Amino acid sequence: MLKLHFAPNSRAGRIVWLLEELGLEYEINKMAFHPKDLKSDAHRDRHPLGRVPVLEDGDLVLWESGAIVEYILERFENGGLKPPVDDSRWPKYQQWFHYCEGMVMPPVNTIVVQTILLPPDRRDETALKQAQKLLTRALAPVDEALAGKEYLIGDFSAADVMLGHACFMSNRVGCVTDEMTNLKGYVERIAARPHFQTAITMQ
């Protein structure tokens, strides 16, 4: 059985969501989002930097949420939740799948560090404002792309698992503006999915 090493309010939520959407059986090792768990010797044996998610499948130990999503789709679903390469939607699927970590999550990470992880006396207001501005700017093309669509490529796909989760978190930190009506609706649809709710309740 698959085993997922998980901490709340992290990218590991994407993997729980995907596993639930696909109806796969899995086991959870839930850890605190704290160095005592993540930087423990036991977890560093799984991930050299002490990060999550980490997926175990037998003797295989795999990290990086995007890589884990791709592995699960190919290993267990024969490419399900993504279009085939010869499908006209495949290039945009690839674009939005990778846009998540390339453009959206870096400023989200900075915002979380500057508002939650660092003690108040070490926070940098300038870095926070820059990250908030960058994130709102990075979300604008997503809002435009969602015009007339329920999900990023039309039908729900693993690109939504990646970028939809990031958009949900972006909305939580206040960077989805009221003018981004397409994106606001998208976040609401993501949040209403029962399997997403299961993942979020673990946070």
Question: Do 96 and 183 sit in the same domain of this protein?
Answer: yes
pLDDT tens for each residue of 144-175 = 999 999 999 999 999 999 999 999 999 999 99
Q: Is residue 132 part of a domain?
A: yes
pLDDT > 90? residue 12: yes
Q: Report the percent of the chain where pLDDT is more than 90.
A: 91
Q: Is residue 85 part of a domain?
A: no
Question: Do 140 and 171 sit in the same domain of this protein?
Answer: yes
Question: What's the domain count of the chain?
Answer: 2
pLDDT value of position 35: 87
Domain with residue 55: its CATH number is: 3.40.30.10
Q: How confident is the model at residue 201 (pLDDT cuts 50, 70, 90)?
A: confident
φ, ψ dihedrals at 63, nearest 5°: -130, 175
Question: Do 67 and 96 sit in the same domain of this protein?
Answer: no
Question: Do 105 and 71 sit in the same domain of this protein?
Answer: no
Q: Is residue 177 part of a domain?
A: yes
Question: Do 67 and 21 sit in the same domain of this protein?
Answer: yes
- Please state, in angstroms and rounded to a whole number, the distance separating the CA atoms of residues 7 and 4: 10
Q: Is residue 201 part of a domain?
A: no
pLDDT value of position 61: 98
Question: Do 109 and 51 sit in the same domain of this protein?
Answer: no
Question: Do 66 and 151 sit in the same domain of this protein?
Answer: no
Lowest mean pLDDT among 104-108, 112-116, 180-184: 112-116
Tell me the β-bridge partners of 28.
Answer: 4
pLDDT tens for each residue of 13-28 = 999 999 999 999 999 9
- Please state, in angstroms and rounded to a whole number, the distance separating the CA atoms of residues 52 and 119: 22
Question: Do 190 and 117 sit in the same domain of this protein?
Answer: yes
Tell me the β-bridge partners of 156.
Answer: none
Question: Do 66 and 141 sit in the same domain of this protein?
Answer: no
Asked if 153 contacts 96 with a C-beta cutoff of 8 angstroms, the reply is yes
Q: Is residue 84 part of a domain?
A: no
For 126, the domain range is: 90-194
Question: Do 100 and 179 sit in the same domain of this protein?
Answer: yes
Q: Which residues contact 7 (CB under 8 A, 6 or more apart)?
A: 30, 31, 32, 33, 37, 38, 52
